Chains A and B, each alone.
Chain A
Amino acid sequence: DAGVIQSPRHEVTEMGQEVTLRCKPISGHDYLFWYRQTMMRGLELLIYFNNNVPIDDSGMPEDRFSAKMPNASFSTLKIQPSEPRDSAVYFCASRRTGNTIYFGEGSWLTVV
């Protein structure tokens, strides 16, 4: 299995630009999670989906952040407009109910 696939691996963008992060979960997994990791706050859950439906988006910082999962094999996390404080590593993870969680390699975002 290819694992959870994220793109881009690294992105540097200017403040105010739109950023789109992409994730392909492991086939057959019914949960998908978006996390953000920073030195200050560690791993934070942003949003998670079950069977493509958003279940809990209370971790999404503000309206600048949005996430979609149009089908079982694809999800996006969008930041518009981006700000320097959004600089972090964004992880996508997936799991099958009751089983272990698998993380992607992360998308390293720098907003200058």
Chain B
Amino acid sequence: KNEVEQSPQNLTAQEGEFITINCSYSVGISALHWLQQHPGGGIVSLFMLSSGKKKHGRLIATINIQEKHSSLHITASHPRDSAVYICAVDGNQFYFGTGTSLTVIP
């Protein structure tokens, strides 16, 4: 049983496209995190949110607590956005989604 489900698993987009990655969870949480991992690289926290919406540059994260759903949007995607994006929820421990592998083609 996966406490956190992400979709899609893999995503290929043309540079400039608007991208959405979805995350649904089944446990009670205090916060949700979006993480980014570049190939062969470490893991960086992009957002931590517990309600509403946050924006950082071209990245936007939203969460609907009632529906237990979050989305990560990337506007005007760029090849450097190519990475694995991981949704993690902060319950009594961290639960991780399996990640969405994004490739942005020039």
Contacts and interface: CB of A to CB of B under 8 A. Distances in A.
Interface string B59-92: 0000000000000000000000000001010000
A45 B33 contact: no
The bracket for how many chain A residues form the interface is 10 to 19
B50 to A, nearest CB: 10
B43 A103 contact: yes
A100 interface: yes
Contact of B86 (A43, A102, A105): A43
A106 B94 contact: no
B48 A104 contact: no
A33 B94 CA distance: 10
A48 B92 CA distance: 12
Contacts of B86: 43
B8 to A, nearest CB: 15
Interface string A91-106: 1010000111111111
A100 B45 contact: yes
Contacts of B106: none
Interface of B: 30-31, 33, 35, 41-45, 48, 86, 88, 93-94, 96, 98-99
Interface of A: 33, 42-43, 45, 48, 56, 91, 93, 98-106
15 contacts: A42-B99, A45-B93, A48-B93, A91-B42, A91-B43, A98-B30, A99-B48, A101-B33, A101-B45, A101-B48, A101-B88, A101-B94, A103-B35, A103-B42, A105-B41
Query: Which 10 residue pairs across A and B have the least CB separation, nearest first?
Result: A103-B43, A105-B42, A100-B48, A43-B96, A100-B45, A42-B98, A103-B42, A106-B42, A101-B45, A45-B93
